[in-house]
């Protein structure tokens, strides 16, 4: 394996005890130069033996993140919640759920992270609250209370049925009848997640105040959940049924409606403007062509998560059913975002999050070695233009969990999908196979820290099963092994800080027609860094023109061959500096 520089070589061998020689790219904000790490707190580290992770556990593991070169941590929701959707059903926007600890624990986390140059980024769930939120308790009482209009209420159709035939994202009608008020309320997700009515200015003010509460605590920004659903259509009408249940998926009916940008411009003014933070919106339904309105000079966020590269593994329709796809499709999807943001705007680069299956099981042919696959993806993740988002466990190459039955799963969406598949006529085995491949719980099994009981995650009973069959699959073992996925990620992270091309450079795709190689150059002035990653299970000869006169900086192979990439090998070349 070739090394980048003496400093980065030492960082690898001494397991990142030595800092990288960081370049100082001009003109970029801190969040464009750093790496963001996403934590699902329930599954990260448990200090109490409860079986679920907590804030103190995150604080205790901050050095792991520092060694990975992380500058910001996105925490999925840690607010008080009945946990119907594991915290995405919020009952109080400005407090901490006791299962995660206290506000003092949160303040300690922010302070300890700051000492290590890491900022904490909160998840704002502003499309809906929990039905246990006091706002909803009041709103549902009658049609005249002070919060009567803070949620989306409608009368029944004359026959008493729901106002429209929309199906919620988790399955079943998107409307639930409220006896107390004598009306239906809308929920894009579960019935326990009523949608907030953004048309009401008092509601919007209350949400901005909640965001400012966290800004006053020194957070570094926000990931903004499910934001494309906040603007409802002007007219609520039935959609064309897309399933045997006679319903139309709500996404197609309400995502990204005209007028949404007015709300988001206000959000930007009230929450983002004038502060040294970043915002990243979860923008399902926003494609590369829309990005000009969403990011960049006139955009509403600093970045948005755009999902076309993840969605291509699913056939269209009601919900994700696996389909075969080609590498050129993945490249096209990623490059469309790169192109859309190359002159104005910025994008996150990501292959995983808490809603997606593990990437090593998602982007490679059947039978691919997961460690080699993880290295290939990490090379792309950490060298494409944009801010890389690493999801917990991705840095050690965690795969999906081999779920044996649907009863092992906790995720509300997985259960909804399983039931829906049965109703659509699939057998229980087929339904389980779909859920296995796509369940969000694949990403939510506990982080693996060491060889101890429950991989060091908890001394209690873990809330989801722990991967148990591979002793090399944990952060401690991989820290000791110079050839591990974790140390490969650390090396790439180091390279990113050393080579300004990798942050400030333009991105040029190479070999766009190749079905085996993903190759691109990062170009700054007369300097180039070239990534070439073999996604196939065959050796592939290396086209001469890839980077003439360049030297090899890194290879995921021990002994890379001159003119040929090994199966699932990734390399980084550069022009001499």
Indicate which residues carry an active-site annotation: 225, 282
The 269-288 contact track toward ligand GLC, x by CB under 6 A, reads: -------------x------
The helix/strand/coil state of 510 is: strand
Identity of the residue, 442 or 478, whose beta carbon is nearer to ligand GLC in the bound complex: 442
The helix/strand/coil state of 13 is: helix
97 binds ligand GLC (CB under 6 A): no
Least distance in angstroms from the C-beta of 195 to ligand GLC: 10
Identity of the residue, 69 or 357, whose beta carbon is nearer to ligand GLC in the bound complex: 357
Strand partners, 529: 522, 574
Q: Where in 2-84 does DSSP place strands (E)?
A: 35-39, 70-75
* φ and ψ at residue 281, rounded to 5 degrees: -95, 140
Strand pairing report for 570-574 and 551-555: antiparallel
Distances (CA, A) of 197 to 36, 64, 128, 351: 31, 41, 9, 32
Strand pairing report for 303-305 and 278-282: parallel
> How far is it between the farthest Cα atoms of the chain?
75
Identity of the residue, 189 or 488, whose beta carbon is nearer to ligand GLC in the bound complex: 189
Residues found in the chain? 577
Question: In what helix (H) or strand (E) does residue 243 lie, and over which residues does it extend?
Answer: none
Cβ contact 460:448 at 8 Å: no
Residues 178-217 binding ligand GLC (CB under 6 A) are 189
Least distance in angstroms from the C-beta of 282 to ligand GLC: 6
Identity of the residue, 85 or 394, whose beta carbon is nearer to ligand GLC in the bound complex: 85
The helix/strand/coil state of 532 is: strand
Candidates 46, 105, 195, 355; binder of ligand GLC (CB under 6 A) is 355
Task: Give Cα 69 distance to the centre of its chain.
Answer: 18
Report which DSSP code applies to 270.
I
Candidates 219, 226, 327, 532; binder of ligand GLC (CB under 6 A) is 226
225 binds ligand GLC (CB under 6 A): yes
Least distance in angstroms from the C-beta of 184 to ligand GLC: 20
Least distance in angstroms from the C-beta of 41 to ligand GLC: 13
The alpha carbon dihedral of 376, 377, 380, 383 has a sign of: negative
The helix/strand/coil state of 102 is: coil
Strand partners, 518: 533
Least distance in angstroms from the C-beta of 125 to ligand GLC: 5
Residues 459 and 222: their CA atoms lie apart, in Å, by: 32
Identity of the residue, 225 or 498, whose beta carbon is nearer to ligand GLC in the bound complex: 225
Least distance in angstroms from the C-beta of 215 to ligand GLC: 21
Residues 350 and 389: their CA atoms lie apart, in Å, by: 5
Identity of the residue, 249 or 370, whose beta carbon is nearer to ligand GLC in the bound complex: 249
Least distance in angstroms from the C-beta of 188 to ligand GLC: 8
Identity of the residue, 21 or 285, whose beta carbon is nearer to ligand GLC in the bound complex: 285
Identity of the residue, 136 or 535, whose beta carbon is nearer to ligand GLC in the bound complex: 136
Residues 132-151 binding ligand GLC (CB under 6 A) are none
Least distance in angstroms from the C-beta of 460 to ligand GLC: 24
Least distance in angstroms from the C-beta of 406 to ligand GLC: 18
Distances (CA, A) of 74 to 39, 64, 119, 212, 279: 6, 15, 9, 17, 11
Strand pairing report for 248-249 and 303-305: unpaired
User: Residue 226: which region, alpha, beta or left (left: phi > 0; alpha: psi -120 to 50)?
Assistant: left
Identity of the residue, 353 or 474, whose beta carbon is nearer to ligand GLC in the bound complex: 353
Instruction: List b or e across 268-295, with b for residues whose CB sees 16 or more CB atoms inside 10 angstroms.
Output: beebbeeeebbbbbbbbbbebebbbebb
Q: Where in 192-338 does DSSP place strands (E)?
A: 221-224, 248-249, 278-282, 303-305, 314-315, 321-322
85 binds ligand GLC (CB under 6 A): yes
Question: In what helix (H) or strand (E) does residue 262 lie, and over which residues does it extend?
Answer: helix 260-267
Closest residue to ligand GLC, judged by C-beta, is: 88
Residues whose CB falls within 8 Å of the CB of residue 272, separated by 6 or more in sequence, listed in order: 279, 302
Residues 136 and 81: their CA atoms lie apart, in Å, by: 13
Identity of the residue, 40 or 573, whose beta carbon is nearer to ligand GLC in the bound complex: 40
Residues whose CB falls within 8 Å of the CB of residue 486, separated by 6 or more in sequence, listed in order: 68, 395, 396, 475, 478, 479
Least distance in angstroms from the C-beta of 439 to ligand GLC: 12
Residues that bind ligand GLC (CB under 6 A): 85, 88, 125, 189, 225-226, 282, 354-355
């Amino acid at each position: 394996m070739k090394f980048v520089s003496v400093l980065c070589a030492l960082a690898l061998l001494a397991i990142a005890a030595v800092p990288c020689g960081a370049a100082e790219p001009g003109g970029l904000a801190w969040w464009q130069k750093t790496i963001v790490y996403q934590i699902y707190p329930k599954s990260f580290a448990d200090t109490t033996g409860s079986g679920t992770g907590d804030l103190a556990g995150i604080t205790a593991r901050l050095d792991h993140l520092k060694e990975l070169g992380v500058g910001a941590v996105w925490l999925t929701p840690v607010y008080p919640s009945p946990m119907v959707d594991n915290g995405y059903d919020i009952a109080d926007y400005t407090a901490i759920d006791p299962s995660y600890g206290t506000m003092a624990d949160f303040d300690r986390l922010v302070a300890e992270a700051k000492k290590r140059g890491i900022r904490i980024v909160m998840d704002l769930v502003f499309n809906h609250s929990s039905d246990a939120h006091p706002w909803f308790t009041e709103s549902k009482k009658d049609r005249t209370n002070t919060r009567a209009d803070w949620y989306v209420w409608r009368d029944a159709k004359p026959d008493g049925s729901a106002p429209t035939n929309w199906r919620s994202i988790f399955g079943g009608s998107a409307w639930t009848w409220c006896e107390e008020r004598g009306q239906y309320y809308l929920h894009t997700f579960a019935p326990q997640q009523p949608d907030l009515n953004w048309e009401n200015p008092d509601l919007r003010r209350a949400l901005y105040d909640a965001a400012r509460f966290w800004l006053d605590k020194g957070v570094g920004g926000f990931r903004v959940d499910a934001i494309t659903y906040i603007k409802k259509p002007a007219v609520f009408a039935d959609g064309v049924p897309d399933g045997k249940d006679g319903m139309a998926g709500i996404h197609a009916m309400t995502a990204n409606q005209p007028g949404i940008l007015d709300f988001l411009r206000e959000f930007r003014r009230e929450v983002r403007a004038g502060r040294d933070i970043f915002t990243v919106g979860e923008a399902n339904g926003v494609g590369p062509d829309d990005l000009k309105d969403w990011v960049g000079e006139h955009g509403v966020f600093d970045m948005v998560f755009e999902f076309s590269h993840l969605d291509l593994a699913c056939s269209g329709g009601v919900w994700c059913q696996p389909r075969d796809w080609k590498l050129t499709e993945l490249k096209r999807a990623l490059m469309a975002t790169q192109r859309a943001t190359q002159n104005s705007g910025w994008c996150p680069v990501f292959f995983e999050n808490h809603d997606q299956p593990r990437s090593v099981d998602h982007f490679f042919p059947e039978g691919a070695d997961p460690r080699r696959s993880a290295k290939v993806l990490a090379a792309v993740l950490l060298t494409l233009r944009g801010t890389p988002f690493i999801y917990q466990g991705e840095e050690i190459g965690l795969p999906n969990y081999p779920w044996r039955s649907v009863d092992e799963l906790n995720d509300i969406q997985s259960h909804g999908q399983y039931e829906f598949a049965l109703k659509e006529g699939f057998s229980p085995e087929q339904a389980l196979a779909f859920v296995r491949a796509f369940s969000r719980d694949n990403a939510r099994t506990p982080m693996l820290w060491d060889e101890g009981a429950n991989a060091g995650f908890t001394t209690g009973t873990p809330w989801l099963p722990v991967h148990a069959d591979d002793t090399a699959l944990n952060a401690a073992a991989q820290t000791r092994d110079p050839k591990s996925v974790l140390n490969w990620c650390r090396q790439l992270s180091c390279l990113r800080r050393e080579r300004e091309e990798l942050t400030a450079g333009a991105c040029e795709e190479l070999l766009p027609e190749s079905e085996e190689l993903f190759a691109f150059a990062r170009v700054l002035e007369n300097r180039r860094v070239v990534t070439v990653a073999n996604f196939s299970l065959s050796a592939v000869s290396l086209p001469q023109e890839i980077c003439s006169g360049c030297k090899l900086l890194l290879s995921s192979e021990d002994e890379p061959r001159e003119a040929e990439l090994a199966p699932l090998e990734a390399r980084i070349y550069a022009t001499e500096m």
